[in-house]
Amino acid sequence: MKRYRFYIILVFALLGLSFIILPIASIIFGTPLSSIKSAFLDREIINSIILTISAGLISTAIGLLIGIPVSYLIVFKNFKGKKLVESIIDIPIMIPHTAAGIALLTIFGSRGYLGKIFSIFGIRFVGTMAGIVIGMMFVSITYLINATKEGFRSIDKNYIKVARSLGANDFGTFFRVIIPLSLKDVISGTIMSWARAISEFGAIIILAYHPMVAPVLVYERFTTYGLAYSKPIVFLITVISLAIFLLLRIISGKMKNYNKNR
């Protein structure tokens, strides 16, 4: 009976893996080499991929600067409305991302409150790199905050008490105890946040259709020229993303082992 249960689990596991692997394999092995070569020589495609990766890195870096303090306050401080704040943080995951783009446009557009303030300093968000970064950050920062929260909550509070008993203030405890002990979760959240950022389409197409990030360019090529012209872009994005994620996982694993051996 146990063997049958194992086979049932195995069948469903294989179905789940197939659901993920088959579309990816179809793109990787089903894209003609001539189309791939043409994509490598297409400056618009290469510039779009570079823009996507760089904007994703910027949005993730900003997300780290403002997201980690949010996680810290939620986990280590008590204040009224904490549950409401946590619920608000999860909203970007739940709402349609075209709706997120509209919401961002009302704030960061030329007539929006923040848009008017930033325009004084020559910063505009509609149709600019800044708009792409804002769109990416809005939909991705939730993953970073939630992962970091879980890391902070998993810390044995005795370590924090010991640090403070030895004279460490909140600032010192944060950087010398809390961050090192939750580093694997921070890294995991950072990777997930960056991944979500570079895959964003809905919010960006509303706020900054141009310059085109890779997801928007795929949509533009598909709707204008058809599947054959969009597949090479998807191929490059898939292969580059796979290579980057493998590298990040390796680095993350080494950092985790380093922290364990300290």
Query: What does residue 208 show for φ and ψ, rounded to 5 degrees?
Result: -150, 75
pTM: 0.88
What is the rounded CA–CA span in Å between residue 143 and residue 227? Answer: 32
Residue 254 pLDDT exceeds 80: no
- Determine the distance from the C-alpha atom of residue 207 to the mean position of all C-alpha atoms in its chain, rounded to a whole number: 18
Note the CATH number of domain 39-261: 1.10.3720.10
What is the rounded CA–CA span in Å between residue 233 and residue 185? Answer: 32
> What value does the mean pLDDT take over residues 71-89?
92
Residue 155 pLDDT exceeds 80: yes
> What value does the mean pLDDT take over residues 92-111?
92
Of residues 134, 145, 15, 14, the one with CA closest to residue 91: 145
Confidence grade of residue 84 (pLDDT, cut at 50, 70, 90) = very high
- 154-161's contacts with Cβ under 8 Å and 24+ in sequence apart are 154/182, 154/185, 155/181, 155/182, 156/181
Angle at 260 (CA atoms; ends 259, 262), nearest 5 degrees: 65
